[in-house]
Amino acid sequence: MLTPVLHSLIVAFVSTFIAFIIMLPLSYYFTNRKSRFQLITEVIILLPLVLPPTVVGLILLSLFGKNDLIGAFLWNNFNFSFIFTLAGAIIATTIIILPIMYQGLKSAFLSIDHDLVWAAKTLSANARTIFIKIILPNCWQPILAGILLSFCRAMGEFGASLMIAGYIEGKTDTIASSIFFMVQQGDMLTAIYLGLINAVIGIIALLVIHILTVRQTNLTRGM
């Protein structure tokens, strides 16, 4: 019964980490510089917000299927497929949470007092020093809040991951997919149990986000 919980945690942690690594430099770049490719890039990143998760899953399925573009290459050269695997669920979940991670990180960087950055530049600080010594210490709380919000969304992902990873008990079952199939089978007790676990994890994360938001607001007002 705990296997779906473990799978959900693995998918959420890994997909959140991947999304953070990808979106951190991109959101920071677009916050500080204007690019002719910014609009189209942001449209692509934010597209999963306006698409049903099943459509995202369908797109991924058409790319990673064994007879499709990427999937055929992986299968023919490495004898590996993302279909019906937990790795597939991680890819799907990562795509779904990219918009949340991007918006959270971008908002965090926009909250920085640019006078601090300007002062650091006048003291001949390079870009790396400014990012590590000025940017991160002054916006780590909203960054962490964005990470936690992305993690919560990853914990609840269902449609896209089900399309590409399916539901294989003991292999690709997550909390969300297990609840759906438990209800279909009439096992309401297990479904409620898993739902409560997910709710508790979400409540804890939201409380931490609230605390971080309040602290960041108080810090901003105190400046």
From residue 169, give the alpha-carbon distance in Å to each of 90, 157, 172, 177: 17, 17, 6, 10
The residues spanned by each domain of the chain are 3-222
Statement: 3-222 belongs to CATH 1.10.3720.10: yes
Q: What is the DSSP string of 25-47?
A: HHHHHHHH---TTHHHHHHHHHH
| CA distance linking residue 147 with residue 64, whole number of Å | 27
The amino acid sitting at 106 is K
pLDDT-wise least confident of 49-58, 116-125, 159-168, 179-188:
116-125
* Rg from Cα positions in the chain: 20
Q: Which helix (H) or strand (E) holds 60?
A: helix 53-64
Category of 170 on φ-ψ map: left (φ > 0), alpha (ψ -120 to 50) or beta: left
- Of the candidates 81, 86, 87, the residue with the CA atom closest to the CA atom of residue 65: 81
| pLDDT above 60 for 145 | yes
Q: Which of 25, 223, 202, 47 has the alpha carbon at shortest distance from 131?
A: 25
As given in the structure block, the two tokens for residue 67 are 């007879």
Write the pLDDT tens digit of every residue in 39-53.
Answer: 999 999 999 999 999
- Would you give the DSSP letter of residue 167? -
- What's the pLDDT at 222? 55
Chain segment 101-121, per-residue pLDDT in tens? 999 999 999 888 878 888 888
**Of 219 and 159, the one with more pLDDT:** 159
